[in-house]
Structure 1
Amino acid sequence: MPAPIAPLLARVVGPGLPLAFRACDGSTAGPPDPVATIEVVDRRALNYLATAPGELGLARAYVSGALDLHGDTFATLSLLAREVVGALTWAERLEVLRGLGAGVLRPVPPPPEEVRPGPWWGLRHSLGRDSRAISHHYDVSNRFYEWLLGPTMAYTCAVYPHPEASLEDAQIEKVDLVCRKLDLRPGQRLLDVGCGWGTMVRHAAEHYGASVIGVTLSRQQAEWGQRRLVELGLAGRAEIRFQDYRQVAEGDFDAVSSIGLTEHIGARNLPGYARFLAGKLKARGRLLNHCITRPTTTGPVAHRRGFIERYVFPDGELEGVGTIVTALQDAGLEIRHEENLREHYARTCAAWSANLEAHWDEAVAEVGEGRARVWRLYLAGSRLGFVQRRVELHQVLAVRTERGEAGMPLRAEFPRRPQPVRLD
């Protein structure tokens, strides 16, 4: 007869952690005043945990609803990420499995929110496959993203000008900082690749007088963003296209911004990506690359069987900032400035998580409970990754020099201008 579930899970997690457990067999374990409670709603959770140990098994159990987390998700994941969790000898692990019963080793189908790109998707990072991968993540629901991201609809790391800044203020500061780094001026031409819902496009056109083309592989993003440009009266000098950046025919841009696109490029395509964007710049034109990175340039490029790959970003790959800098340099660009905004992204994820919780019932009604659970887990896990420096966020500013002339001041400080240009 199987042993009580909750005490066995408490044993796996390790002693001394402020986590409680309760299970569908009526068993409980843990302190009376826990930080959070982990509940096994049905025994499928045990199959997921046993057949896919680590983050993937936990994700499958949670997304399917077979396992629930009561309490702060970020605090729970922080505790589960400690070294003591799962630190059992092989003999102890076998004892736990015997206690749970041999049936826990039987694979069960993953929840429908899990995606496994196969040959029918095409070659990795081909135009067609990239379009499918982007659609999986971004073509969910514009209304859902409005609740999640807030009024700016900016889906990348914000830049907090001070600790008390709101998410909206920090997102505006982010795109304004990019405009200042690019030294945008009225009448200049900007290409924004991977433009999302057009936050950078709108800001550069409205406040800096730039002529902007934004491209995204998400049809829903492009439609929402173009509609917003029309509402703001900016359609005459800015447009958002449903288009792969590799299909942009125009050139001779004064500046190129890439905010959150490089994560989707892939290691093999990074040199070509850098050459393509460098080729779009006129002499002394600037490129700003803003993306999530991993903290090293060694080791495997991506874990293709984990939670992020299966549920959030199919085919996503993170590079070290050194790899990105190398690609830009090899494409003929000169690196002029670089900074790490890791702590800012942890704050951004926390703000998005708060937005999701504030709109939880609406989000579940809009996209389904499984997908809402994916996002709850993803945002908390991403925040933890930035806090623990398992991932970073880097902005790299590069310039296409002309006979060694960069057209930049001796030292670049990117101060705020007294009055950003606004053309009415």
Structure 2
Amino acid sequence: MTTDAAVKLSIADALGKLMKEGLPFRFEAFDGSSAGPTDAPFTLRLLNERGLSYLMTAPGDLGFARAYVAGDLELEGIHPGNPYDAMVLIMSQLRFKVPSAAEMVQIVRSLGFGNLKPPPPPAEEHLPKWRRALEGMRHNKKRDAEAIHHHYDVSNRFYELVLGPSMTYTCAVYPTLDSTLEQAQYEKYDLICRKLDLKPGDRLLDIGCGWGGMVRHAAKHYGVTVLGVTLSREQATWAQDEIKRQGLDDLAEVRFSDYRDVPEGEFDAISSIGLTEHIGVKQYGDYFGFLRSKLRVGGRLLNHCITRPNNKTTTTGAFIDRYVFPDGELTGVGRIQVAAQDVGLEVRHVENLREHYAMTLKGWCDNLVEHWDEALGEVTIGRAKVWGIYMAGSRLAFERNEIELHHVLAVKPDPHGDASWPLRPTWGS
């Protein structure tokens, strides 16, 4: 008598055992099996044993990413530069169930115990956390530098193709629904300048300055003397070249440096745009304390960062941690405000811009699709695929309020509480 556990399943049948309500897309496997509607908007095609091993040894987003980045899993009908539509369908309709012990044995036997040995990960994958731990505690200077190098020191030309002329890799602010990405990035920088109340002759420190967008905007449009610092040598080189090209040398500088090594002080304002995500929640006290020490009395701080819709501290998912932001950590805006207040900064204004980030990510995906062939001349196809998944998935997360983007505006008051603050906000919408 043959038991159910002894019946050999095809790959498609094994996948079906894990589904609550069937597949919302077409699935085809290298063993000739298939499942899902034939008229589905896209087809997911598993090409070989290595891809199967990736999926079996790292269930979830990491295994999928490995197989997809390595070229063992294909999405037909969806451009790899913008798999947003596929991700919406998967996230809204794909429902997994927990198989019984007997079903699990049957699945593993059918797919092969040999596939439980993990293949080497794709070259685009960063070291696992336990290997990174050999470099010391999370968020020490060496480990932070390695994490930034992994993500940002890829190819400046690749970033130009994806980000557009502004070379701005942070959430834009859209004045209207039909504003272009470039208009929205200009508005983001200008809004921050207005929130910081920048005036000619002021001194601004921009930490985690990227390719220097905020540095150039403040110098060019507000007559401010600006120092920007970044842990990416590629960014610093590109930014300094652009500063010289625009004739802003007398006002602006971008330095290849850890922000913690900036010796100057008594700044009129500090902007931190997209850096806090890399700091680590346990370091918030030291981070805000350091920034407060660099401000003059009455000076303002604008902290712009991705947040969670609650105040729990969470690390990023496995895919983001290995392929995008190693050691990334997020929490809610409440934790950020508390940390700023606890070092003596006074929080005066908070704003959530999450819908703007979803729109920004759409713009970046559109750019990647438009410039796909040229992008592949700058990075591997695996790296380009990583960017497509990461940006499309992040767009969906912002739309679903799984992550948010907050501006926290604070001031360093004098010992008597004078914050040199107007009665009402002066920066407009």
- Aligned pairs (5 A) from 1:89-104: 89-91=99-101, 92-104=103-115
Deviation at 1:11, TM superposition (A): 5.0
Higher deviation after alignment, 174-183 or 358-367: 358-367
Amino acid at match of 1:335: V
Match of 1:357 among 357, 360, 369: 369
Deviation at 1:8, TM superposition (A): 3.5
Say if 2:17 and 2:99, in contact at 8 Å, map to a contact too: no
Asked if 1:85 is matched to 2:128, the reply is: no
Match of 1:107 among 101, 106, 118: 118
Aligned to 1:419: none
Say if 1:50 and 1:105, in contact at 8 Å, map to a contact too: yes
- Aligned pairs (5 A) from 1:32-43: 32-43=38-49
Asked if 1:301 is matched to 2:301, the reply is: no
Residues 285-337 of structure 1: per-residue CA shift (max 9 Å, x gap): 10000001112112x5315x611111111111112111111111011111111
Amino acid at match of 2:409: L
Deviation at 1:61, TM superposition (A): 1.1
Q: Distance in 2 between matches of 1:42 and 1:351?
A: 34
Q: Distance in 2 between matches of 1:102 and 1:80?
A: 28
Residues 206-257 of structure 1: per-residue CA shift (max 9 Å, x gap): 0011110000000000000010000000011110000110011111111000
Match of 1:150 among 155, 160, 164: 164
Deviation at 1:174, TM superposition (A): 0.6
Deviation at 1:2, TM superposition (A): 5.4
Q: Distance in 2 between matches of 1:347 and 1:87?
A: 33
Amino acid at match of 1:374: V
Say if 1:193 and 1:257, in contact at 8 Å, map to a contact too: yes
Aligned to 2:353: 341
Match of 1:201 among 208, 215, 238: 215
Aligned to 1:422: none
- Aligned pairs (5 A) from 1:11-160: 12-15=18-21, 17-72=23-78, 73-82=83-92, 84-91=94-101, 92-116=103-127, 117-160=131-174
Q: Distance in 1 between matches of 2:73 and 2:356?
A: 31
Amino acid at match of 2:402: R
Q: Secondary structure at the match of 1:251?
A: coil
Aligned to 1:238: 252
Task: Decide whether aligned partners of structure 1 residues 278 and 59 sit closer, same or farther in structure 2, where only a CA change above 3 A counts.
Answer: same
Say if 1:338 and 1:394, in contact at 8 Å, map to a contact too: yes
Say if 2:16 and 2:22, in contact at 8 Å, map to a contact too: no
Q: Distance in 2 between matches of 1:14 and 1:76?
A: 19
Cα RMSD over matched residues?
A: 1.8
Structure 2 gap ranges (5+): 1-6
Q: Distance in 1 between matches of 2:335 and 2:93?
A: 30
Q: Secondary structure at the match of 1:132?
A: helix
Say if 2:148 and 2:231, in contact at 8 Å, map to a contact too: yes
Match of 2:419 among 406, 409, 421: 406
Deviation at 1:391, TM superposition (A): 1.0
Higher deviation after alignment, 84-93 or 364-373: 84-93
Task: Decide whether aligned partners of structure 1 residues 14 and 361 sit closer, same or farther in structure 2, where only a CA change above 3 A counts.
Answer: farther
Amino acid at match of 1:159: V
Say if 2:310 and 2:332, in contact at 8 Å, map to a contact too: yes
Task: Decide whether aligned partners of structure 1 residues 195 and 104 sit closer, same or farther in structure 2, where only a CA change above 3 A counts.
Answer: same
Aligned to 1:421: none
Residues 36-95 of structure 1: per-residue CA shift (max 9 Å, x gap): 211102122221111111111111111111111223411222232247522243354444
Aligned to 2:3: none
Say if 2:18 and 2:96, in contact at 8 Å, map to a contact too: yes
Match of 2:267 among 253, 257, 260: 253
Residues 371-401 of structure 1: per-residue CA shift (max 9 Å, x gap): 1111111111111211121111100000111
Say if 1:121 and 1:132, in contact at 8 Å, map to a contact too: no
Q: Secondary structure at the match of 2:96?
A: coil
Aligned length: 414
Structure 1 gap ranges (5+): 417-424
Task: Decide whether aligned partners of structure 1 residues 411 and 205 sit closer, same or farther in structure 2, where only a CA change above 3 A counts.
Answer: same
Q: Distance in 1 between matches of 2:229 and 2:269?
A: 14
Higher deviation after alignment, 250-259 or 61-70: 61-70
Task: Decide whether aligned partners of structure 1 residues 14 and 21 sit closer, same or farther in structure 2, where only a CA change above 3 A counts.
Answer: farther
Q: Distance in 2 between matches of 1:43 and 1:136?
A: 29
Deviation at 1:4, TM superposition (A): 3.0
Match of 2:242 among 209, 228, 252: 228
Amino acid at match of 1:341: L
Q: Distance in 2 between matches of 1:84 and 1:371?
A: 26
Match of 2:193 among 179, 189, 200: 179
Aligned to 1:368: 380
Say if 1:49 and 1:57, in contact at 8 Å, map to a contact too: yes
Q: Secondary structure at the match of 2:228?
A: strand
Q: Secondary structure at the match of 2:288?
A: helix
Q: Distance in 2 between matches of 1:114 and 1:356?
A: 20
Q: Secondary structure at the match of 2:18?
A: helix
Q: Please give the TM-score of this superposition, normalised by the length of structure 2.
A: 0.92
Deviation at 1:7, TM superposition (A): 4.3
Higher deviation after alignment, 315-324 or 17-26: 17-26
- Aligned pairs (5 A) from 1:281-320: 281-298=295-312, 300-303=313-316, 306-320=318-332
Q: Distance in 2 between matches of 1:7 and 1:170?
A: 48
Amino acid at match of 1:318: L
Say if 2:18 and 2:99, in contact at 8 Å, map to a contact too: no
Say if 2:132 and 2:143, in contact at 8 Å, map to a contact too: no
Residues 399-420 of structure 1: per-residue CA shift (max 9 Å, x gap): 111222222221215127xxxx
